[in-house]
Amino acid sequence: MSTSDPKTWVDQHGDHLFRYALSRVRDESSAEDLIQETFLAALKSRDKFKGDSSELTWMTGILRNKIFELYRRQAKDVPLAAEDDDRESSFFDGRHWSPAEAPREWPAAKAESAELSAVLRRCLDGLTAPVARAFVLREMEGLPAPETAAALGVAPAHLAVLLYRARMRLRRCLEKNHFAPGAA
């Protein structure tokens, strides 16, 4: 199956791909670069497109791989800094959740709201780059832990630390900016 005319790709798919990239890399310039790389890769490989999925799904897959490549390059370029875990330690009593700090279920209606998406994006922006990358790959992209660790260039144990930091800081940020603790 052939693709649509490449001259129409930006109009047809550009907004969706840009939103997808921006939600993962948190930087408009990087998102724009990734979209350009995606369109170029799609143009070069359009004869290999079999039509097993929609054209948008095919391009989103290309973009997803471009994002992984970006994270791999960034992981090689920037050493991971040690971070202070003191604030997060209050959530645990030894190795278990403190009863007062145990995670609460968030209402499904709130979880699907546009407001939550905006707050989550702001909260992600507040994370350090390595912590945010780990969360995006593992939780938003659903990449298995070993692949996430490899993409970030970290040991699996360090990935667990990064994910722990992401979850604790996102939880705190979401509760502060969107959810009242104990609210149903």
Cβ–Cβ contacts within 10 Å for residue 145, how many? 14
Domain 6-77 has CATH 1.10.1740: yes
Inter-helix orientation angle 9-25/28-45, to 10°: 130
Return the closest-CA partner of residue 176 out of 125, 130, 120, 127: 120
Per residue of the chain (184 residues), give pLDDT as tens: 567 888 899 999 999 999 889 888 888 899 999 999 999 999 999 888 888 888 999 999 999 999 988 888 877 765 555 444 555 555 655 555 555 555 555 444 444 566 777 777 888 888 998 999 999 888 888 889 999 999 888 999 999 999 999 989 988 888 887 665 555 4
In angstroms, the CA 139 to CA 158 distance is 16
Cβ–Cβ contacts within 10 Å for residue 19, how many? 11
Residue 106's φ and ψ, nearest 5 degrees, are: -95, 140
Bridge partners (DSSP) listed for residue 92: 97
Model pTM above 0.85: no
The per-residue pLDDT for range 93-130, each reduced to its tens digit, is: 555 555 555 555 544 444 456 677 777 788 888 899 89
What is the assigned CATH class of domain 106-177? Answer: mainly alpha
Domain range list for the chain = 6-77, 106-177
Bridge partners (DSSP) listed for residue 93: 96
- CA triple 175-86-173, angle to 5 deg: 15
Per the prediction, the chain carries an average pLDDT of 79
In angstroms, the CA 7 to CA 42 distance is 12
Half-sphere exposure of 31 (CA within 13 A, CB side): 15
Helices (runs of H) and strands (runs of E) counted in the chain = 9, 2
Tokens of 129: 């780059």
